[in-house]
Amino acid sequence: MTEGSFRASPGGRRQGEEGGEPPKRAPRLLPRLGRLLPKRGDLIVLFISVLIFAASIALVGNERPSSDTVTLKAGHEEYVYPLGEDRILKIEGPIGETIVKIDAGGVRFIDSPCRDKICVGMGAVSQNRQVVACLPNKVIATVRKSHAGRTR
């Protein structure tokens, strides 16, 4: 070899004069920085994850305490009672007094001033959105149950 000449070795190091150090490479920051920056797909996944997280916080924040209720409507008046508390109510309608029983089993009409007493014969209703009504006396009872803390 001539002086100042070098040849590349298979390992990529330069071999030159005896006792000389191989030349130092300039640092390549941009290619390394490019690998650290998020790609478009990463940003989309991050955005969707943030949306799902925000939606779950909003849904959990809207939970209501679990409460099953009975809504009684008589004419233009409306009353709401808890379904779990046993009680007998007398509701005044246009043709007289309707007697309603509320207990853990549901709600039912015990007696009504109507002629056919179809409302009394319907029995108890206990499922969500079930209705028992005395149409001649304009008294309507609706069961409202909450499921997993959310009313429907």
Q: What is the CATH classification number for the domain harbouring 88?
A: 2.60.320.10
Q: What is the pLDDT of residue 114?
A: 93
Q: Would you say residue 18 lies in a domain? A: no
Q: Would you say residue 73 lies in a domain? A: yes
Kindly report the pTM of this predicted structure: 0.54
Q: What is the pLDDT of residue 119?
A: 93
Tokens of residue 29, six digits? 């920051």
CA distances from 118 to 53, 66, 70, 91, 114 (A): 51, 32, 20, 17, 8
Q: Determine contact, residues 119/134, Cβ cutoff 8 Å.
A: yes
Q: Would you say residue 63 lies in a domain? A: no
E strands along the chain, which residues?
7-8, 14-15, 69-74, 77-82, 87-93, 96-103, 106-111, 131-134, 139-144, 146-147, 150-151
Q: Determine contact, residues 93/137, Cβ cutoff 8 Å.
A: yes
Q: Give the pLDDT of the chain (152 residues) as one tens digit per residue.
A: 555 555 555 555 555 555 556 667 666 655 565 667 778 888 898 889 888 888 888 777 655 555 789 999 998 899 999 988 899 999 999 999 999 999 887 999 999 999 999 999 999 999 999 999 999 999 999 999 886 444 44
Q: Would you say residue 23 lies in a domain? A: no
The identity of residue 30, as a single letter, is L
Q: Would you say residue 21 lies in a domain? A: no
Q: Would you say residue 12 lies in a domain? A: no
Q: Would you say residue 38 lies in a domain? A: no
Q: What is the pLDDT of residue 152?
A: 45
Torsional sign, CA 10, 16, 17, 19:
negative
How many C-beta atoms surround the C-beta of residue 65 within 10 A? 7
Q: Would you say residue 8 lies in a domain? A: no
For residue 95, give the 3-state DSSP assignment: coil
140 is in which domain, residue-wise? 69-151
Q: What is the pLDDT of residue 60?
A: 72
CA angle 91, 93, 97 (to 5 degrees): 55
Number of domains making up the chain: 1
For residue 2, give the 3-state DSSP assignment: coil
